[in-house]
Structure 1
Amino acid sequence: MLQKNSGLALDVKALGEDGVIEGYASAFNVIDSYGEMVAPGAFKGSLASAKKEKRSIKMLLQHDSWQPIGVWDELAEDEKGLRVKGRLLIEVSPKAAETYGLVREGALDELSIGYREIETAPDRSQDGVTILKKLDLREVSIVTFGALGRAAHIDEIKSCLEAGKMPTLREFEGFLRDAGFSRSKAEAIAASAKQHLQGEPGGKAADDMRRFIERLRA
């Protein structure tokens, strides 16, 4: 079984006291550090089969099959990627309770998928890039490091600007975290930029945002 770190941050603000957690396990059309890109629809067949067979997609810690820490209640594709929502079983597993604390404090903040490749193809428009067209999803892990990380958030925000939109406050915070800022600093910077984020996409605010992103990217 292959493993791939999506590098997309867990939605810590949605972390409930009951252990409910959510985020993106995979992003579509983003090239990771392995030179691979997941295509929209890659998980649909696998998710349908799991539902039909009443087979769960496992929630693991660091891809360790000896460390199940919860259950995924919702897994679905949207325009961005594979969105997941589940529960850390903090009252059942000491490891889950420990993971909950680490996620809450930001020590663990990314997701990774474990899968088998069913159908792949070279990307003819980009040398050295493989498109993952169909995957058999087996598990989604909470992990320390991801393969997309900073590049994913940069691409998300640039795509927003190019499409005539401004990034959301949460997207901008995620980008700042991947750029190396602590959670508290990222939240403070994003809060101070809130006025710009709510400005006109084609105006000066968007130009300032684009220049800021490019400086961090360099």
Structure 2
Amino acid sequence: MSVRKNAGIIKFPIENKRAEISLENISHDGYFSGYASLFGIVDLANDIVEFGAFSKTLERHSSRPVRMLFQHDPDQVIGRWVTIYEDRKGLYVEGQLSLDVVRAKDIHALMLSGALDGLSIGFKTCKSCKDPKTDARHILEADLWEISVVTFPMLPDARVTQVKSEAPLSDAFDTKIAAKIKHAAIRLSSS
């Protein structure tokens, strides 16, 4: 990792770690949940995020929320993260795409079709150490900036565990569809 120095100020580059997500039942209101990062697993860049790496940054994010972006592009905000926390498995997230935003609506359609299925974290490394035997970098503390929906994931084992809807289709809607199907069947059988 390179470090840039300007006028005595040290600037650390923002890093990205990508994780594949599995979208089983995409909700029509854009809600989904899963893991943006998993602990103790070597990713394709030979990095391992350790349990507790996000604890300090998550405490600070009440004043500066973690953004939901597309492909790490700050010009493409596509929704918001409703819930972010660490558990023993990794960094668990729940988010909602803003379906009034054209890009988010496109992403939603791609998720529904199974064409887009990755998550990636954008962060700055605060503390890390290198394993001399494996050359793997262990990330002990990370300053989380954003979590993106991406095309190519870095951590294939991290996946969305559920896509849910807070507003399921109503029984009245189902009843109307059933009535129309029954009416059409009766018309076809009498022809």
The match for 1:142 is: 149
Match 1:8 to one of 7, 20, 33? 20
Conservation of the 8 A alpha-carbon contact between 1:14 and 1:21:
no
Q: CA deviation at 1:21?
A: 1.4
What CA distance in whole angstroms lies between the structure 2 residues aligned with 1:30 and 1:57?
A: 23
Deviation per CA, 1:154-179: give whole Å up to 9, x if none: xxxxxxxxxxxxxxxx7xxxxxxxxx
Conservation of the 8 A alpha-carbon contact between 2:54 and 2:142:
yes
What CA distance in whole angstroms lies between the structure 1 residues aligned with 2:115 and 2:52?
A: 31
If the length of structure 2 is used for normalisation, what is the TM-score? 0.72
What CA distance in whole angstroms lies between the structure 1 residues aligned with 2:26 and 2:94?
A: 10
What CA distance in whole angstroms lies between the structure 2 residues aligned with 1:148 and 1:68?
A: 22
AA matched with 1:38 = V
Query: Are positions 1:111 and 2:119 aligned together?
Result: yes
What CA distance in whole angstroms lies between the structure 1 residues aligned with 2:112 and 2:126?
A: 35
Q: Give the secondary-structure state (helix, strand or coil) at the position aligned to 1:29.
A: coil
Aligned residues: 146
If the length of structure 1 is used for normalisation, what is the TM-score? 0.64
The match for 1:48 is: 59
The match for 1:59 is: 68
Identity score, percent:
35
What CA distance in whole angstroms lies between the structure 2 residues aligned with 1:97 and 1:30?
A: 32
Query: Are positions 1:29 and 2:40 aligned together?
Result: yes
The structure with the larger Rg is 2
What CA distance in whole angstroms lies between the structure 2 residues aligned with 1:111 and 1:96?
A: 14
Distance 1:135 1:14, change over 3 A: farther
AA matched with 1:2 = E
The match for 2:88 is: 79
Q: Give the secondary-structure state (helix, strand or coil) at the position aligned to 1:90.
A: coil
Query: Are positions 1:18 and 2:25 aligned together?
Result: no
Query: Are positions 1:101 and 2:109 aligned together?
Result: yes
Deviation per CA, 1:86-135: give whole Å up to 9, x if none: 110002x01100000101111110100000010001135x4211100000
* Structure 2: gaps of 5 or more residues: 1-13, 162-191
Greater strand percent: which structure?
A: 2
* Structure 1: gaps of 5 or more residues: 154-169, 171-218
What CA distance in whole angstroms lies between the structure 1 residues aligned with 2:148 and 2:50?
A: 20
What CA distance in whole angstroms lies between the structure 2 residues aligned with 1:110 and 1:72?
A: 15
